[in-house]
Amino acid sequence: MFTGIIEALGEVIAIRKEGTNVHFTLASPLSDELTIDQSLAHNGVCLTVVEKGVGTHTVTAIEETLRRTNLGQLHEGSLVNLERAMLSNGRLDGHIVQGHVDLTAQCIQVEDREGSWNFYFRYPPSPEHLLVNKGSITINGVSLTVVNPKEDTFSVSIIPYTFEHTTFGQLEAGMDVNLEFDVIGKYIARYAALYG
């Protein structure tokens, strides 16, 4: 389980395909602290550390993960948001994040507000993916507050710290992002679908 508070950026330094799997090797300030078999969120995707090097770690994405996320669009030099699993005795600064991406959305506009940024997104609408104004959403692993949700669009506002310390600083219109909807909303939507 995660909180959506990004700890560090990692840089993809190698990509290796093996059958339908893709192995990503990243260099990051967290890599030396990781252990084999540890869960680590990469752009909001919970992946297992399978190899370690000096200042590097490797994770594997299977076909299903690549199909549901934007990880297949990564290339050498790509920056990735990283977060270790939360400690049970720590503060929950963001919201409950599972690291299970629901789908991808496309950034459709970036608005510079001279001190903050508004990012606008479009995604395939579905009754099981609930968004409420001022509710929670995870975008590329970052816990954020939903602004002005519509049937298939919404926006978020980004403060300078988040812009500078996550991949939002490189995000442009036309790029895809990973979305994880609020788990409580997903349970409510599922209950409503089953029991009316």
Distance CA 29, CA 22 (A): 22
**What CATH number does the domain located at 103-195 have?**
2.40.30.20
Query: In the numeric block, which tokens belong to residue 108?
Result: 């459709």
* pLDDT, the chain, mean: 94
Distance CA 118, CA 106 (A): 14
Helices (H), 62-159: 63-68
Q: What are the pLDDT digits (tens) for 3-15?
A: 999 999 999 999 9
Q: What are the pLDDT digits (tens) for 62-94?
A: 999 999 999 999 999 999 999 999 988 877 788
User: What per-residue confidence (pLDDT) applies to 21?
Assistant: 97
The band of 194, judged by pLDDT with boundaries at 50, 70 and 90, is confident
Distance CA 151, CA 97 (A): 23
If you compute the radius of gyration of the chain from its CA atoms, what whole number of angstroms results? 16
Q: Residue 46 phi/psi, 5° resolution?
A: -75, 115
To the nearest 10°, the Cα dihedral for 82, 83, 85, 88? 170
User: What per-residue confidence (pLDDT) applies to 67?
Assistant: 95
pLDDT exceeds cutoff 80 at 101: yes
Q: Where does the chain hold its CATH 2.40.30.20 domain(s)?
A: 8-84, 103-195
* Higher pLDDT pick, 98 / 121: 121
**What CATH number does the domain located at 8-84 have?**
2.40.30.20
The band of 104, judged by pLDDT with boundaries at 50, 70 and 90, is very high
The band of 128, judged by pLDDT with boundaries at 50, 70 and 90, is confident
Distance CA 95, CA 98 (A): 10
* Higher pLDDT pick, 190 / 179: 179
